[in-house]
Structure 1
């Protein structure tokens, strides 16, 4: 059997950190003389005591390096168990959600999905909206940073953790995972600070700037307002677009740029394809909105740019007429949401990197058919893509499509209409955050979904954030054998 104690020890330490972080929204609400501040203190106490008990009971467990199996369990444990405690403020305090809804909200935050079951965000205590933004920020790369604090205890250099999360270090821009984590944290904090300042300069309130800034860089999409960025239409949409793009590009390229070499950033095939495909989608939807909906060019371009960037970067903010999109525009939105943004960022979806390799494999196969005597190699970035990578890619694509279909059918059996079911699974599996369909149109949230559908969405969010395979691997009987 696998020794679970080292995994429990690290998760216990992270729970203690999570409890400490709950003090920030507690202080905000107590400063506003909101009783909700006491609810945060209760949540922090429960979380901190649980973490301390786990740490004390397993403190002698880390005597050697974590195995790869333990690293997988740590990854799944972080993303699946931490929301149990992150959900406590939603359950104990305002808005007093049922625990299944509270867990959904916390999973949505930590997986940076941004889907919500809360309607009336503008009336929530300030600390609660701050907590939602903090969950997004922690989920973007923050949870990984917290785990990296304890890498010396793991005695493995940390690369196992990166591998199990599907983290692409792009050739290890830095020699050790701990160094990578430290530099990534610096980039993440700098981008977040710049985004918050930019939002403040265009007129956002302090709370809105902090929550939207944290959610933007994390590509999380939790907004402190029911109308999301419609509240700051115009300059807010343009500024938000810029920072959503920055948050969905490969972070390792920022590290290389900070070290004085900007060439890998500009030459990155994935980033260039991402921007090229996004621009193509924006142009098509802008033209469609102008000629078919009669919308003037500037608002058509602005809303198309903001909303499609939000979808493709898997952020989940929205503005303008986005909720009523249909027909051609909805098809474009569905496709860019499926593709997603760049590997090595906080974005989700299939990822541009995987789609590029799939297209390269398709071209090579077609060339082999038309010219049987030639050897058509699959290449990416001038290098040959090995067969094991292609096999893994095929497995991932197949799993993604199959899970999308199976969960959509399962959700429709709960009584949700077909369109709402399809886009609910799409938004959850791709960690996009915003759905379409009759059940979403009324409030822009998933508050009208039955509990069984909420459970399916919760599972889909975890599968999407963990790249599908991590959860599947630990379900195999062979995983638990020595």
Structure 2
């Protein structure tokens, strides 16, 4: 029988850490005297007590070695359980959400999706908006760790292609993972500080700068203002474009950069392709918009580039009325949202790497048809993509598209119009967070969706974050018997 004590020991420690972090917004609200501090203190007490008891009761099973089953289990349960305790402040205090909305908001934050059901963000206690930004920051860092350490070893969706040399088993990974985690924490924190300083210098208020910086680097999209970046047009949008792009780059490149080797970053084909594709998309949408509707070229380009990079990096910030720009802009947005950012970052969706390899495979198949006797190998960055990786990529891509279609239809059966249902599931399973469609037009939130549809979207956000297959594998009896 599988020993799950190490898994719950780690989750227990996570809850204790989460409780400690809750004291930060609690202190902010206590200083402000807005009456909301008690909700955070209560949530911290509950989370810390339960987490501590779980850790103490399972510490006798602790081992430095994690096997693959435990890795699958922890990468799935961590998001589900931590999100539940993370939603407690939303229920116990302002804004006083019910369980459905509170869990939706917490999952959206932890998975760095950025969808929200809260209207009136500008009027919330400062601690609540700070907590929302912290959920994004916590999730982004956790996702970075999972993307760099666990997913390549778990062979999820072709990610084994990115296995770092020497990472042959989880037993070997974890000792080195602590060193990588420290480097990653330093880089991640440094990017947040740089982003926050830039926002502040360009005119953001201190609270907006802190919360938005955490959400930007985590590609999370939680903003402390209802208008999102429409409140800060101009230079701040260009700054956000830069930092969203940095947040969607492979985290291992930053670790290598800190170690003194910048060459992998400049040579990374994912980074080059992401920049090329997003710039092409923004130029095409700008040309179409100016030709069809007129308007200032610079402002149109800035809004197109901002919103499209927000969507492609699966951040979810909005600026202006991009969601109403019409069919061509929305089709382009849908496509870049399906692609997503780079593998090994906090961005989700299919990822640039998977799309690059799929395009290579299609091109190779076309050449094979025209030259049947020629043997054509699929290569990526000079390395041959083996059959195992290709099988994982194809299976993941097929499952992603199939789930997008099935869940969209299911949401329409729950009473949501077709456009809102499609873009709602697209925003959830891709952790994009961008609200498009008639059902979200009045508030730019998902508050008007039926509760049943919100649960489907919550499920979709979790699926998208744990790489789809990691969750489904846990439901297979054969996996536990192997």
Normalised by the size of structure 2, how large is the TM-score?
0.95
In structure 2, how many angstroms separate the alpha carbons of the residues matched to 1:293 and 1:397? 36
Match in the other structure for 2:171: none
Tell whether the 8 Å contact from 1:420 to 1:440 is kept in structure 2 after alignment.
yes
C-alpha distance 295-181 of structure 1, shift in aligned 2 (>3 A): same
Tell whether the 8 Å contact from 2:116 to 2:445 is kept in structure 1 after alignment.
yes
| SS in structure 2 at match of 1:60 | helix
1:347 paired to 2:347: yes
Match in the other structure for 2:164: 172
In structure 2, how many angstroms separate the alpha carbons of the residues matched to 1:252 and 1:403? 29
C-alpha distance 222-102 of structure 1, shift in aligned 2 (>3 A): same
In structure 1, how many angstroms separate the alpha carbons of the residues matched to 2:400 and 2:336? 15
Match in the other structure for 1:69: 69
Match in the other structure for 1:151: none
Shift of 1:320: 1.1
Pairing 1:343-382 to 2, within 5 Å after superposition = 343-382=343-382
Match in the other structure for 1:262: 262
Shift of 1:171: 5.2
Pairing 1:184-199 to 2, within 5 Å after superposition = 184-199=184-199
| SS in structure 1 at match of 2:374 | coil
Tell whether the 8 Å contact from 1:165 to 1:466 is kept in structure 2 after alignment.
no
Match in the other structure for 1:109: 109
Shift of 1:259: 2.3
Q: Give unmatched runs, 5+ long, in structure 1.
A: 149-157
In structure 2, how many angstroms separate the alpha carbons of the residues matched to 1:325 and 1:53? 53
Shift of 1:269: 0.8
In structure 1, how many angstroms separate the alpha carbons of the residues matched to 2:244 and 2:359? 26
Match in the other structure for 2:468: 468
Match in the other structure for 2:291: 291
1:36 paired to 2:36: yes
| SS in structure 1 at match of 2:278 | helix
Pairing 1:3-18 to 2, within 5 Å after superposition = 3-18=3-18
In structure 2, how many angstroms separate the alpha carbons of the residues matched to 1:448 and 1:275? 35
Tell whether the 8 Å contact from 1:165 to 1:470 is kept in structure 2 after alignment.
no
Match in the other structure for 1:387: 387
Q: List per-residue Cα deviations over 1:56-75 (Å, max 9, x = no partner).
A: 21121114622210111111
Pairing 1:117-266 to 2, within 5 Å after superposition = 117-142=117-142, 159-160=149-150, 163-164=153-154, 170=162, 172=164, 176-266=176-266
1:451 paired to 2:443: no
In structure 2, how many angstroms separate the alpha carbons of the residues matched to 1:292 and 1:173? 52
Normalised by the size of structure 1, how large is the TM-score?
0.95
Match in the other structure for 1:80: 80
Match in the other structure for 1:97: 97
In structure 2, how many angstroms separate the alpha carbons of the residues matched to 1:169 and 1:186? 26
Tell whether the 8 Å contact from 1:110 to 1:140 is kept in structure 2 after alignment.
yes
Shift of 1:134: 0.1
What RMSD in Å do the two structures reach over aligned CA positions? 1.8
Tell whether the 8 Å contact from 1:340 to 1:430 is kept in structure 2 after alignment.
yes
Match in the other structure for 1:399: 399
| SS in structure 1 at match of 2:59 | coil
Tell whether the 8 Å contact from 2:228 to 2:317 is kept in structure 1 after alignment.
yes
Shift of 1:344: 1.0
C-alpha distance 24-165 of structure 1, shift in aligned 2 (>3 A): farther
In structure 1, how many angstroms separate the alpha carbons of the residues matched to 2:136 and 2:322? 22
Q: List per-residue Cα deviations over 1:376-396 (Å, max 9, x = no partner).
A: 111111111100111111100
In structure 2, how many angstroms separate the alpha carbons of the residues matched to 1:389 and 1:457? 29
In structure 1, how many angstroms separate the alpha carbons of the residues matched to 2:216 and 2:263? 26
C-alpha distance 34-313 of structure 1, shift in aligned 2 (>3 A): same
Match in the other structure for 1:273: 273
C-alpha distance 466-33 of structure 1, shift in aligned 2 (>3 A): same
Shift of 1:353: 0.3
Q: List per-residue Cα deviations over 1:367-412 (Å, max 9, x = no partner).
A: 1100011101111111111001111111001100110011001100
- Matched residue pairs, number? 472
| SS in structure 2 at match of 1:434 | coil
In structure 2, how many angstroms separate the alpha carbons of the residues matched to 1:143 and 1:387? 27
C-alpha distance 330-227 of structure 1, shift in aligned 2 (>3 A): same
Q: List per-residue Cα deviations over 1:3-35 (Å, max 9, x = no partner).
A: 221111110011000000000000000000021
In structure 2, how many angstroms separate the alpha carbons of the residues matched to 1:429 and 1:443? 21
C-alpha distance 7-144 of structure 1, shift in aligned 2 (>3 A): farther
Pairing 1:288-327 to 2, within 5 Å after superposition = 288-327=288-327
C-alpha distance 214-169 of structure 1, shift in aligned 2 (>3 A): farther
Shift of 1:160: 4.3
C-alpha distance 339-161 of structure 1, shift in aligned 2 (>3 A): closer
Tell whether the 8 Å contact from 2:368 to 2:376 is kept in structure 1 after alignment.
yes
C-alpha distance 173-230 of structure 1, shift in aligned 2 (>3 A): farther
Match in the other structure for 2:331: 331
Q: Give unmatched runs, 5+ long, in structure 2.
A: 168-175
